[in-house]
Structure 1
């Protein structure tokens, strides 16, 4: 049960801070060796932080973008909401273009547009700030709910493997997949936590194990290429990951490397759980084949920590996400409930035809 969990003990990190005049973003490119916050006073600075991965994780991207709209609002002079909507639209478009795969980004911006549209005359700046606060507070509540739901699926004494970073650093707090792990540890269901390093940005190595360390949770780091061998050893019973987009048939886009984990898990009889808020569900996208997969600079594969490891002239391919077919997923957990063995019918039953923006 959720009331078993001491949230103050297992949730110390906050990556997004609103000061009233600026948005402070924990610069995740510098972790774990420096804890520095970027101070953004304009929406374009927020968009740049999202694009550069200073802030990352689908929910956190959406929250940051919402505050980016508030900053954009502070920069325009308009007495009426209708005029403000027109003036703000270019900034919203630039924020939306910062990362194309994470549906939470467009979802949050759609909520900000809707909040503005509900206002007549003055008071629209206050309405935007209230909406941004609501997006953040709802995300934290949803994460705690998902943590309890996901942990309830895990048998006591289990080992789990996670990929990328899905914790407080990627959300308003507590995390999605890492929230399940936090809840599972608090309830003594999880005895061992393993984290894949997650090349090429090493979110698992730099962020996940550091974040768990802040909460006093022991985690063992493995090379991505060691995952199948770990599963064969019998030390893990669940793979628990997040999502950047969940399609109408239950296909899931997540950090590159997730798909191969799902294949290995199925082969070894290890269960596979996806944990994400309902804002990540996109019922307008029928299947993963229709998702735009972001590609980043191939040069990111040529170096580790700024030191080049590859000879000059070598080509590289650097997709950021892959798609895990729903047939390889044992459970999708959102704050609205758990869908076991997801498919188009069960997704339709849970979410109807609600479309992400």
Structure 2
């Protein structure tokens, strides 16, 4: 079985969700009980290992898991890695049991690699903040949730803010609520409080006034997919922050593992953006009830019955609005297709040597 912390119940309850097969994990992914690009890759790999250990059709489970959420590239990568380990061992030894063990080993290896990548991104991100904003006292705005809840380690963008906090250089973490599912209010505020950080929650549409008041020194976000040209797909609401940041001359920094860079996606227009149910916008669900992304009719209506809603899960920020992309292998600034390709190529050469 695979045991997850059910993120739809936070912050009201810390509840474990037990997945006994791949189909249960697919539902957990779609309902956002488990979410965040790096963690989706880890969960997907463990899902393949679970299917193998229980004697289910591994290829069918892998296909179902890989397609559970289309925008986050890490999910399919994690699934294919564990699936490849399973197939390779099965071909070598002919032992289903040994193949299941290989899939589990691949998932555990990915988990450990992500934790290491998180620590390295935190160090690189803090160094960049200190370079761009000498003197410390950083006031950082973040969007959605990018901490330990999305990672095998301490996160991506949140890990940078946490490193600044531990170094005594974080003055304030501004937390966007992140409508419609409130991942900022429910999850980032939860993590910031547990870490003893100085943080303040704001409605998404209050960000403009915060910039205008000169209260933001930098924006830190994560990414679900980075296209070959440097376009960044992240939680919807990220692109408006990039526009605000550019107008107000504030650095806009993306922190993501190199696995989030997808050179097979040429540009932002080629990113498949997940469209989620309209009721997530027209209703507000109580986290302690059916979960933040439960079923239609399970929440408190905030719009007239029958109202149509536009609900993309992500938006895409063009590279010219991104100050830097911080990965565990290096930082790209300015963000160009050539620089990204060079970073990815260098990483692959190091991994082969």
Same fold per superposition (TM over 0.5): yes
Equivalent-residue separation in structure 2 for 1:353 and 1:247 (angstroms)? 17
Q: Which residue of 1 aligns with 2:111?
A: 136
Alpha-carbon distance, 1:352 to partner: 3.3
**Does the aligned pair in 2 maintain the 1:58–1:244 contact within 8 Å?**
yes
Please say if 1:37 is aligned against 2:16: yes
Change beyond 3 A, Cα 1:286–1:233: same
Equivalent-residue separation in structure 2 for 1:337 and 1:181 (angstroms)? 18
Please say if 1:197 is aligned against 2:177: yes
Q: Which residue of 1 aligns with 2:76?
A: 106
Q: Which residue of 2 aligns with 1:19?
A: none
Alpha-carbon distance, 1:261 to partner: 0.3
Deviation >6 Å, runs of 4+: none
Equivalent-residue separation in structure 1 for 2:150 and 2:346 (angstroms)? 27
Consecutive unaligned residues of structure 1, counting only runs of 5 or more, are 1-21, 78-86
Please say if 1:213 is aligned against 2:206: no
Alpha-carbon distance, 1:184 to partner: 1.1
Q: Which residue of 2 aligns with 1:321?
A: 314
Change beyond 3 A, Cα 1:354–1:153: closer
Please say if 1:166 is aligned against 2:141: no
Please say if 1:93 is aligned against 2:63: yes
Match of 1:74 among 47, 50, 53: 53
Alpha-carbon distance, 1:97 to partner: 1.6
**Does the aligned pair in 1 maintain the 2:48–2:83 contact within 8 Å?**
no
**Does the aligned pair in 2 maintain the 1:331–1:339 contact within 8 Å?**
yes
Equivalent-residue separation in structure 1 for 2:190 and 2:306 (angstroms)? 35
Alpha-carbon distance, 1:231 to partner: 1.1
Alpha-carbon distance, 1:254 to partner: 0.2
Equivalent-residue separation in structure 1 for 2:116 and 2:210 (angstroms)? 33
Q: Which residue of 1 aligns with 2:125?
A: 150
Q: Aligned-residue CA RMSD in angstroms?
A: 1.4
1:207-286 to structure 2, matched below 5 A, reads: 207-286=187-266
Q: Which residue of 1 aligns with 2:305?
A: 312
- Per-residue CA deviations over 1:183-232 (Å, capped at 9, x if unaligned) read 11112222111000000000000000111111111210000001111111
Equivalent-residue separation in structure 2 for 1:42 and 1:313 (angstroms)? 36
Equivalent-residue separation in structure 1 for 2:266 and 2:329 (angstroms)? 20
- Per-residue CA deviations over 1:20-42 (Å, capped at 9, x if unaligned) read xx211111111000000101111
Alpha-carbon distance, 1:313 to partner: 2.5
Secondary structure of 1:153's counterpart equals helix
Equivalent-residue separation in structure 2 for 1:125 and 1:189 (angstroms)? 46
Equivalent-residue separation in structure 2 for 1:58 and 1:176 (angstroms)? 10
Secondary structure of 2:226's counterpart equals strand
**Does the aligned pair in 2 maintain the 1:259–1:322 contact within 8 Å?**
yes
Equivalent-residue separation in structure 2 for 1:320 and 1:312 (angstroms)? 22
Equivalent residues, number: 325
Equivalent-residue separation in structure 2 for 1:173 and 1:351 (angstroms)? 22
**Does the aligned pair in 1 maintain the 2:121–2:160 contact within 8 Å?**
yes
Equivalent-residue separation in structure 1 for 2:84 and 2:62 (angstroms)? 13
Q: TM-score, normalised by structure 2?
A: 0.90
Q: Which residue of 1 aligns with 2:33?
A: 54
**Does the aligned pair in 2 maintain the 1:195–1:219 contact within 8 Å?**
yes
More helix by share: 2
